[in-house]
Structure 1
Amino acid sequence: MASNRPIIAIAGLACETSGFTPSRTLAPAFHPLRGNEEIRGKYSFIQAGSPLSNAAEWHGALIGHALPGGTVRRSAYEELAGEILTANSTGCGSTSTAPCVEGIDDAEFDLLRRVRAVIGPNVIVSASMDLHGNVSRELVHQTDLITCYRTAPHIDVMETKERACRNLVELLTRSSSGISSPLRPLKAWVPVPILLPGEQTSTRLEPAKHIYEAVPEVEKREGVLDAAIWVGYAWADEPRNRAAIAVTGWDQNTIGRGAEHLAQLFWDAHREFAFVAPTGSFAECIDAALKSAARPYFISDSGDNPTAGGSGDVTWGLTQLIARPEFQREDGPTVIYASVPGPQAVQKAIDAGVGAIVTVTAGAEVDNIHAGPITMTGKVHSIKQGDKHAEVEVVLQVGSVFAILTKLRKPYHLERDFTELQLAPRDADIVIVKIGYLEPELYNMAADWMLGLTPGGVDQDLERLGHHRIRRPMWPFDKEFKEQPDLSARIIPMSNMPLEGPDE
């Protein structure tokens, strides 16, 4: 017997991509998953026996999530997008996000435009995104449902994906007055001329805390299906880069007022956003750590953060660190530094073995704008094989610094990332990580911390990066506005209706 359950395809690409690093992201970096078994296995909320699983027939097309990095090669995008289009040729809804791509200013819109050409205008599309995405008017129009995370650091990733799927199922099964086809919602979209890094917009702290706490309150209003706020992604340079609001629902006046309320909250607080921790130059951070009794003391080497799009192989921070006389003796303050890629250095350490003294050169193979390769002599402390991102990791002790070297770049967010390398971060004096705001495990581990304003492809000093294609005026690039920004809601018609008027 044929099933009358809706058929839903799951597809998408995700990667935060900095336009200010020379690195490029290739197709294998997305670690693509294909087909029902691989993709459904990622999401517990659609696995056998769950309410959503029984509510629809779920078909895995292709999903890929790359570690943030440089702009995606056009050939890589075409390869992966082509697979998505082929898999969606049966005509199904999809959840989808996409990264910045060579030669394409709005890759999310481009991917959905291509999907629409295959599935047609009447198939329902739901999208879930990172709140650090950039959401254009055209993208909102291509979707029927669109939502994003509500926490930064992101602790609601699966909750958001489940909400996107649940909303989609509800929409597909909705009927009115005997009409069998689903009713499509309207969307209210408001662009907000603010472009800030995540390190100034953590939802753990004000003012982002109260702004994001208002999202579920808007969602509860009669006639509203979903509400979302995007902070935007600050290290790309495209006309769509800015904050945005989208409220989805059935009543035009209600969704419009809800979107304008959230936009006004955001704009009213634009001068209040500040870094999530005390900041300073790298030297100032180290000086503060040495003077402090708090242990472990964490320092973010933020300019080359690989989870924001940095290349990960900038050597500037490690070079500055091992040059400090305080750390040149083995009995100096214990410092852990994570990390610098250096495949040849890693292989040399493996060949020598744990306990051997080696001289190796690492880093700056991709990004040598701020510093060249670093050469160090030290003792091989530990070796680990088989990491998903790094593949191979080596710890080299140079004086009292335990420097983590990797075959491929890797973010260090978890305590086990260190303990599996025979390192004890809780017992260290200083832990330096290429990161922006501390991820939850690091945040809970740190007795104190500072955000180092260091150079790199995701420099926290946005104004020295050289944006030239973003819309102006834009806070904080412009400190004074001649007039208040237009925060009125733009009502986006249903996706199967034409989008008229100029882009805003």
Structure 2
Amino acid sequence: MRIAIGGFIHETNTFAPAPTVFEDFGDWLGNGIPVGKEIFERTPKTIALRGVSARARDDGHELVPLIHAPASPANKLTEDCFERISAMLIERIGDPTRLDGVILDLHGAMVAKHHSDADAEILRRVRSHVGPNVPVVASLDLHGNVTPEMITIADGLVGYRTYPHVDMYQTGERAYELFLALKSDAPPKARGFRSIPFLMPIHRQTTMNSPCSELYASLARHEAECGDGAKLSFMMGFTLADVNQCRPSLYGFGADQQKLDRALDAMLEEILDCEAEFHAALPSADEAVAEALRQPEGVTVLADVQDNAGGGGTSDTIWVLESLLKAKAKDAVVGLMFDPEAAKAAHAAGLGADIEIPLGGKGMPGHAPLVRSFRVAGLHDGVFRLKGPMMAGSDQNLGKMAWLVCDGVGVVVTSVRTWYVERESFAITGAVPEEHRIVSVKSTNHYRADFTELSSRIIELGAPGAVTLDPSKLSYKNLQPGTRLYGTGPAFQPAKV
């Protein structure tokens, strides 16, 4: 068969300070959007697209490479951005009469200035181009705010089942399996969708802990009970999108509608039974630091969950760093701090130099930098190889990086705002996490994939940032009325005009 494959991926935080523009999209090394055969050379080896391509090639099929366009989370895509990339994707598909199918790597929570349900719009345009008889399948992030329209337009959608996302490649394989079923002599026609009536704060979504570890295990059992190659997905949603479809959901595709409906209904009941566990409480930075200092030997990880670039955060708030200094903490390191000016100053001064700089605090309105004298303890510039469970074997380039130290507290500074933290991102500058008593990461959950193994304990904290994890503190206007803002929390009602 001849299969078109590509991706257009964005997790849109409509509360973030900056819009998303065309130049924000590109590969991990900052070299623009991979096009054609480049998508097999310039994309991380662990993503869904790689799972699809490996299986398809093993089966002897011809792949038609389109584009692969990811960008770090930020506010809505500009109209120009969305239209340009969508046009690139459609143009590369070419003559649909020469295709047997299309498999896409999407997110599920993209919002454009002129399309609130941007993933549905991408699927709609692909469907319009290829017609009703060419199967269209997509892999999705489990933070997708999926809509009934997406389920109707696509022939199949398959979501991640892990957060941190260590099953991206496997999700691509599952999407490919669903595509093969659609091309069989008895293609599955059943599909179903269930909307979940409460929001799930993102820091409560990790599948490494309860309740999500048990819920996803249950999802796999229900899928197996459906038989006949059915694929079920549980999307926990992305709460930082003020759109009507901002809700968790369940959906599935299979051969037997009754079995599919029973499985989705049973899974929905199990999720509702766990609702109270999706609470929003978080300690302050000062409280978390005090708790960390009370801990015995071992490494304590402080998760600065609201300054996560992976959710649209600026990744440059200084609250945890300031709290550690105020508490006279020793042997601590904070990262990754996005501050190109500080990194440039450190490289200009050189290893071992002392520099007084305004560090961080530049991206969020009302914030201010921390002005201190820092010693340049480590430097790095350019590409390095990732080693953690999510992206092992892939290269990353965060530009000029520096490990700066003040009164025993270090901070790893980068020149690129990045959405994922793993140990190598620290260690490449010399700030080896295992050698510190306290490690603070600007990440909501992805850090767990690589940091849990080294830590004696993890303390999540709620310092101010662009990734507000308590949905009741967000100024929504467009949610579905009656949506509970967290587990057993207050229900959203639109303001009266």
Q: Shared topology, TM-score over 0.5?
A: yes
- For residues 479 and 86 of structure 2, the distance between their equivalents in structure 1, rounded to whole angstroms, comes to 26
Partner of 2:418: 410
What is residue 192 of structure 1 aligned with on the other side?
Answer: 196
User: Per-residue deviation at 1:478?
Assistant: 8.2
Q: Which residue of 2 aligns with 1:441?
A: 450
Code of the residue aligned with 1:289 in structure 2: it is: A
Q: Does the 8 Å CA contact 1:279/1:450 hold for their aligned counterparts?
A: no
User: 1:384 pairs with 367, 380, 385, which one?
Assistant: 380
1:101 paired with 2:112, answer yes
Shift of 1:452: 0.6
The amino acid of 1:175's aligned partner reads D
Q: 61, 65, 72: which is aligned to 1:60?
A: 65
Partner amino acid, structure 1, of 2:437: D
In the superposition, relative to structure 1, how do residues 157 and 74 fare at CA in structure 2: closer, same or farther (>3 Å)?
same
Kept in 2, the 8 Å contact 1:218–1:224? The answer is no
2: CA distance between counterparts of 1:282 and 1:22? 22
Q: Does 1:266 align with 2:271?
A: yes
Cα offset, 1:137, TM superposition? 0.5
Change in Cα spacing, 1:465 to 1:481, as seen in structure 2 (3 Å) is closer
In the alignment, is residue 374 of structure 1 matched against residue 370 of structure 2? yes
What's 2:172 paired with?
A: 161
Match of 1:298 in 2: 301
Counterpart amino acid of residue 462 in structure 2? L
Contact kept? 1:342, 1:361, Cα under 8 Å = no
> Partners of 1:45 and 1:466 in 2: how far apart?
39
**Alignment correspondent of 2:484:** 475
Q: Secondary structure at the match of 1:444?
A: coil
For each residue in 1:341-396, what CA deviation from the matched residue of structure 2 results, as whole angstroms up to 9, or x when unmatched?
Answer: 22222212111111111111233443234x22232211111111014352111111
Q: Which residue of 1 aligns with 2:428?
A: 420
1:461 equivalent in structure 2: 470
CA contact (8 A) 2:40 2:50 kept: no
Q: Determine if contact 1:317/1:454 at 8 Å carries over to the other structure.
A: yes
Provide the C-alpha distance between the structure 2 equivalents of 1:144 and 1:104, rounded to a whole number of angstroms.
21
Greater Cα shift, 152-161 or 472-481: 472-481
Contact 1:343 1:362 in 2 (8 A): no
Residue 288 in 1 paired to residue 284 in 2?
no
Matching of residue 326 in structure 1 with residue 328 in structure 2 = yes
For each residue in 1:108-142, what CA deviation from the matched residue of structure 2 results, as whole angstroms up to 9, or x when unmatched? 00111111221112210111111111100001111
Q: For residues 146 and 51 of structure 1, what CA distance do their matches in structure 2 show? A: 17
Farther off after superposition, 415-424 or 228-237: 415-424
What amino acid sits opposite 2:266 in the alignment? H
C-alpha change, 1:297 and 1:258, in structure 2 (3 Å) is same
Moved more, 411-420 or 231-240: 411-420
Partner of 1:495: none
Structure 1 Cα separation of the partners of residues 111 and 80 of structure 2: 13
**Which blocks of at least 5 consecutive residues in structure 2 are unaligned?**
27-32, 384-395, 492-497
Q: Which residue number corresponds to residue 491 of structure 1?
A: none
**Secondary structure of 2:452 counterpart:** helix
Amino acid at match of 2:12: T
Hey, what does 1:127 align to over in structure 2?
138
For residues 467-500 of structure 1, what are the alpha-carbon distances to aligned partners after superposition, in whole Å with 9 as ceiling and x for unaligned?
2211121223584799xxxxxxxxxxxxxxxxxx
Indicate the structure (1 or 2) with the bigger Cα radius of gyration: 1
Give distance in 2, aligned partners of 1:258 and 1:65: 33
Contact 1:334 1:401 in 2 (8 A): yes
Question: What SS does structure 2 have at the residue aligned with 1:150?
Answer: coil
Give the letter aligned to residue 203 of structure 1.
T
| Residues 201, 486 of structure 2: 8 Å contact kept | no
CA distance in 2, matches of 1:96, 1:411: 18
- The alpha-carbon deviation at position 415 of structure 1 amounts to 2.0
> Secondary structure in 2 aligned to 1:165?
helix
Larger CA deviation: 371-380 vs 411-420: 411-420
The aligned residue for residue 255 of structure 1 is 260
1:199-245 CA-partner distances (Å, limit 9, x unpaired):
21222222222221122222222355211111111111100010111
Q: Give the Cα–Cα distance (whole angstroms) in 2 for the partners of residues 111 and 46 of structure 1.
A: 19
Q: Structure 1 residues 479, 416: CA separation in 2 closer, same or farther (over 3 Å shift)?
A: closer
Give the equivalent residue in structure 2 for 1:330.
Answer: none
Is the 2:301–2:440 Cα contact (8 Å) retained in structure 1? yes
Q: Distance in 2 between matches of 1:350 and 1:262?
A: 54
| AA partner of residue 277 (structure 2) | E
Identify the residue that residue 312 of structure 1 maps to in structure 2: 315
Closer/same/farther in 2, CA of residues 222 and 403 from structure 1, 3 Å limit: closer
Count residues in correspondence. 460
- What is the distance in 1 between the residues matched to 2:398 and 2:303? 20
Query: After superposition, where does 1:105-120 map in structure 2 within 5 Å?
Result: 105-120=116-131
Secondary structure of the equivalent of 1:445? coil
- Equivalent of residue 11 in structure 2, options 8, 16, 37: 16
Decide which of 185, 205, 214 is 1:175's aligned counterpart: 185
> Partners of 1:326 and 1:165 in 2: how far apart?
53
For residues 361 and 84 of structure 2, the distance between their equivalents in structure 1, rounded to whole angstroms, comes to 29
Amino acid across the alignment from 1:408: V
Taking the aligned partners of 1:72 and 1:317, their CA distance within structure 2 comes to 30
Q: Does the Cα contact within 8 Å between 1:378 and 1:397 map onto a contact in 2?
A: yes
Q: How has the CA–CA distance of structure 1 residues 148 and 422 changed in structure 2, closer, same or farther, with 3 Å as cutoff?
A: same
Distance 1:393 1:139, change over 3 A: same
Once the two structures are superposed, residues 391-432 of structure 1 have per-residue CA deviations (whole angstroms, 9 ceiling, x without a partner) of 111111111111122212235632222221111211212111
One-letter amino acid of the counterpart of residue 288, structure 1: E
Q: Distance in 1 between matches of 2:327 and 2:209?
A: 37
In the aligned structure 1, how far is the partner of 2:257 from the partner of 2:490? 30
Q: Secondary structure at the match of 2:335?
A: strand
Which residue number corresponds to residue 209 of structure 1?
213
1:339 aligns with: 336
Alignment check: 8 A CA contact 1:15 1:66 kept:
yes
Q: 2:230 aligns with which of 210, 225, 232?
A: 225
Counterpart residue number, 1:486: none
Structure 1 vs Structure 2: percent identity of aligned residues? 24
The answer to whether the aligner puts 1:79 opposite 2:79 as a matched pair is: no
Describe the shift of the 1:45–1:106 C-alpha distance in structure 2 as closer, same or farther (beyond 3 A): closer
C-alpha separation between the residues in 1 aligned to 2:486 and 2:217? 27
Q: CA deviation at 1:258?
A: 1.5
2: CA distance between counterparts of 1:189 and 1:398? 53
